[in-house]
Chains A and B, each alone.
Chain A
Amino acid sequence: MRSFLKYTFLLLGFTLLVMIVLDLVFTTIYHTGAYRSKIMWVRDMEDTTAVDYVLLGSSRVNYGLQPELIEAKTGKKGYNLGMNATNMVETMALLEEFLNIRKTATVYVQVDIQYENKTPDPVGEIPWMPFLHEESVYKHFKGYGDQYSTYRYVPFYRYQKFATRLGAREAVASLLGSGYAYENSRGYMPLFGTIAEDKDFMPEQTVTTKNSLYTELIRFCKKKGIEVRFFTSPYYRFQGNIEKLGTFLPNYTNFSDSVAKRKYFSDQVHLNTEGARLFTEIFIETYFSEQP
Chain B
Amino acid sequence: MLFNSLDFAIFLPIVFILYWFVVGKNVKAQNILLVGASYVFYSWWDWRFLFLILFSTLVNYGVGLLLTKEKKRSRRKLYLFISVLTNIGLLGFFKYFNFFLENFVEAFSFFGMSFKTTTLDIILPVGISFYTFQTLSYTIDIYKKKLEATNNFIAFMAFVSFFPQLVAGPIERAVHFLPQFFTKRTFKKEQAIIGIKQIIWGLFKKLVIADSCAQYASEIFDNYQEYSSATLVLGVFYFAVRIYGDFSGYCDIAIGTARLFDFKLTTNFRYPFFSRNIAEYWRRWNITLSSWFRDYIFFPLGGSRVSRYKTIINVMIVFLISGFWHGASWNFIFWGFICGLLYVVFSFKSKKKHSYVTVNPNTLPSIRAFFEISLVFVCMAFTRIFFRTTSMEEAFSYLRQIAEFSIQLDYLGIYRYSVELIPLILVMLWLEWYSRNKEFPLFSVKPEILKTSMIILFILLFGNFEEVKQFYYFRF
Contacts and interface: CB of A to CB of B under 8 A. Distances in A.
A168 B424 CA distance: 14
A161 interface: yes
Interface stretch (B310-318, B385-393, B452-460): B452-460
Contact of B193 (A7, A15, A22, A162): A7
B416 A160 contact: no
Contact of B420 (A7, A15, A169): A169
A163 B460 contact: no
B461 A22 contact: yes
A1 B260 CA distance: 11
A7 B444 CA distance: 14
Interface string B296-314: 0000000000000000000
A275 B456 CA distance: 50
**Chain B interface residue number, banded:** 20 to 34
B415 interface: yes
B464 A163 contact: yes
Contacts of B94: none
B460 A169 contact: no
B154 interface: no
Given A169-B418, A169-B420, A11 B187 contact: no
Contacts of B419: 169
A14 B460 contact: no
B202 to A, nearest CB: 15
Interface residues of A, number: 23
Interface string B335-377: 0000000000000000000000000000000000000000000
B10 interface: no
Contacts of B8: none
A11 B460 contact: no
B462 interface: yes
B189 A1 contact: yes
Residue among B415, B419, B461 with most chain A CB within 10 A: B461
Interface in A68-124: none
B465 A168 contact: no
Contacts of A162: 466
B20 A1 contact: yes
A39 to B, nearest CB: 19
A163 B465 contact: yes
B215 to A, nearest CB: 9
Pairs of residues from A and B, 10 with the lowest C-beta to C-beta distance, nearest first: A160-B465, A164-B416, A4-B189, A4-B192, A164-B415, A1-B187, A168-B461, A15-B456, A14-B453, A7-B447
